[in-house]
Amino acid sequence: MKKPTGSPNRSSRIRFLSLLDSLLSFEKDSAFLPPFSFGGWVFFLAGMVPALIVGWIIFPMVLYSSQPQPMNFNHALHLDPESVDGIEGDTENERCLYCHEFRDDGTFVGIPLLAKCTECHDDPEMPLGETDKEADFLNNYVAAEKEIPWLSYSRQPDCVYFSHIAHVTMGEQDCRVCHGNHAETEKIPAYRANRLTGYPINIWGKNISGYKTDTWERMKMDDCAECHTRNGQEENNECFVCHK
């Protein structure tokens, strides 16, 4: 019996090439719009643009909650040596560390407790300034001996270990490398947290796509690895260094 000259694979390739040719060809009397024609681009953009709006604008608005801090804090005023005499330090970093200090064992205090504030603001009857905000602070917190329930912008997941003293003292990094220009701000922004994870938006980055232009716009693992590599500390990119 004579074998057929064609094969299933050959027939499949012929059908595929025929279909591909029909997709790339354009006929005026055809209702089909090839992908690279004007009409094809119209349909592509009609789907892509709404998807980008939903994904990059509407979705982040739904994903992140927003709430104000319990009170405002004027960093620019407190770090200005001509305005405040009580805060010690010649450089911006040193003045930041006066309030956000290290304990004797090297651990980081983080957000200062009321006791640090009352080193200067100790008498509700004698405010240091003339603003209503300071009066509210003295009456609501100092007089009541009540801690301010600050919300942390930089709270990392529980599985992440970060040593401030290793970066600030040993690595001689400026605070603004991770935290931005807080020293120049007169108002602190609202706290925004991911509704699903509970972590602040500052960790992922304010741009939902993950794009950043400055070092302080994100606090993700690849940002740490990028900084380690740039500063010749590639060995600190090992998993166990940050994940204890």
The CA-based dihedral angle spanning residues 237, 239, 241, 244, taken in that order and rounded to the nearest 10 degrees: 160
16: in domain: no
Mapped onto helix, strand or coil, the DSSP state of residue 66 is strand
What pLDDT, on the 0 to 100 scale, is given for residue 165? Answer: 94
229 and 191 in contact (C-beta within 8 Å)? no
SS3 64: strand
Structural domain that includes position 72: 68-111+150-242
1 confidence band (pLDDT: 50, 70, 90): very low
Instruction: Look at residue 37 and tell me whether its pLDDT is greater than 80.
Output: no
Q: Is residue 126 part of a domain?
A: no
pLDDT the model gives residue 232: 93
CA dist 180 and 189 (Å) reads 13
More confident residue, 79 or 9: 79
- What mean pLDDT is reported for the chain? 85
* 57 in any annotated domain: no
18: Cβ contacts below 8 Å, ≥ 6 apart: none
What DSSP character marks residue 188? Answer: P
**Whether the Cβ atoms of residue 65 and residue 201 lie closer than 8 Å to each other:** no
Assess whether pLDDT exceeds 80 at residue 27. no
> How many domains would you assign to the chain?
1
Residue 125 in domain: no
What digits encode the pLDDT tens for the residues 172-201? 999 999 999 888 899 999 999 999 989 999
In a domain, 117, yes or no: no
The mean pLDDT value for 151-166 works out to 92
Q: Which helix (H) or strand (E) holds 231?
A: none
In angstroms, the CA 208 to CA 58 distance is 11
CB 154 within 8 A of CB 167: no
Determine how many CB atoms are found less than 10 A away from the CB of residue 189.
Answer: 13
Q: Is residue 170 part of a domain?
A: yes
* pLDDT attached to residue 28: 45
Q: Which residue has the higher pLDDT, 45 or 28?
A: 45
- 58 pLDDT band, cuts 50/70/90, is confident
Specify if 159 maps to a domain: yes
Bridge partners (DSSP) listed for residue 65: 193
SS3 for 191?
strand
The answer to whether residue 9 scores a pLDDT higher than 80 is no
Quick: pLDDT tens for 100-109: 999 999 899 9
Q: Please check whether residue 130 lies inside any domain of the structure.
A: no
pLDDT at residue 142 is higher than 90:
yes
Confidence of residue 29 (pLDDT cuts 50, 70, 90): very low
Band (86; pLDDT cuts 50, 70, 90) = confident
Give phi and psi for 68, each to the nearest 5. -75, 155
Q: Give CA separation, 63 vs 24, 60, 168, 235, in Å.
A: 41, 5, 33, 35
95: helix, strand or coil: helix
Higher pLDDT, 195 or 34: 195
Name the token pair of 42.
């119209």
Residue predicted with more confidence, 35 or 228: 228
CA distances from 50 to 27, 36, 62, 187 (A): 30, 20, 16, 35
Give the pLDDT confidence score for residue 54 in this predicted structure. Answer: 84
Residue 208: predicted pLDDT: 77
Q: What are phi and psi of 189, to 5 degrees?
A: -75, 170
pLDDT of 36 reads: 57
